[in-house]
Amino acid sequence: MEYKVLKLDVDHGIALITINRPEVLNALNTNFFVEMNYILDKLELDDTLKAVIITGVDKAFVAGADIAEMSEMDYNHARSFALTGQDTFLRIENFSVPVIAAVNGFALGGGCELAMACDFRVASNKAKFSQPEVSLGLIPGYAGTQRLSRIAGISNALYMIVSGDMITADDALRMGLVQKVTEPEELLAEAKALAGRISTKGAKAVKKAKEVIRKGILMDFDEACRYEAEEFATLFGNGESGEGMKAFMEKRKPNW
């Protein structure tokens, strides 16, 4: 496929996906979802993959969904557009390896929703976050009402969504929406460093941890704890855990 919206680079098990529509501040359109799903299909086949980073070019991460495209939609088209976004972002959320959003600038509307679908968010101190859909007479459509309330709490979600106010990276850090804030010139290096640290851990354990957390949060506590115990046990005898514990006792780095 010839990419019109996205760029993909894979290096030493770390995939970098860059959203490249600077003329519209990387707004999400139908082509974005087609290309993102194609890339996810491709990356799912890469057994050497350790982590994925998503970022945007120039001064925006993503400044929202493409309003020019949305303005022509009726009920059926709008519902399909929302479901396509939800399905794509759910694929990112459930992707087998950790996905890091490197938020370089505006993460507004669909951009904030994309960032929330990632496992971690590292932000430039110039980044801005907002769910401004009410200003258009709309609400978030890519599961923003649900992810934001789960990540930052109901009151913070209501505040951001009902007011439409834009918040800083430091504000986002305080409410748990962001895990780390960096200088703009250090953003991508910080995201890659995090991906690099993850890549040194047991690959099966990293994937299992993400799976258990993502699935367990949807269960009641007792059920989730039993599920954790079962999945914990499956990691014994697979070779990786044996090497990890042996390396610890021998005071050396594991040879995965």
Adjacent-strand bridge partners of 165? none
Delimit the CATH 1.10.12 region(s) of the chain. 203-249
pLDDT at position 1: 87
CATH topology of domain 6-199: 2-enoyl-CoA Hydratase; Chain A, domain 1 (3.90.226)
Are 9 and 16 in contact, with CB atoms under 8 Å apart? Answer: yes
pLDDT at position 14: 98
pLDDT at position 106: 98
Delimit the CATH 3.90.226.10 region(s) of the chain. 6-199
User: Residue 76, class by beta-carbon neighbours within 10 Å (0-12 exposed, 13-18 middle, 19+ buried)?
Assistant: exposed
The pTM for the full model equals 0.94
Catalytic site includes residue 113: yes
Using CA atoms, how far apart are residues 230 and 68, in angstroms rounded to an integer?
49
Catalytic site includes residue 133: yes
* CATH number belonging to the domain at 203-249, selected among 1.10.760, 1.10.1760, 3.30.70, 1.10.12: 1.10.12
Are 46 and 10 in contact, with CB atoms under 8 Å apart? Answer: yes
Are 191 and 53 in contact, with CB atoms under 8 Å apart? Answer: yes
pLDDT means per 10 residues in the chain (256 residues)? 96 97 96 97 96 97 92 94 97 98 98 98 98 97 98 98 98 98 98 97 96 96 98 90 92 92
Report the chain's C-alpha Rg in angstroms.
19
Q: For the chain, how long is the longest CA-to-CA vector? A: 64
The position carrying tokens 């009151």 is 155
Sheet holding 128-130, edge to edge: 60-62, 106-108, 128-130, 167-168
Of 23, 69, 113, 211, the active-site residue reads 113
pLDDT at position 256: 83
Of 133, 183, 186, 243, the active-site residue reads 133
Adjacent-strand bridge partners of 99? 52
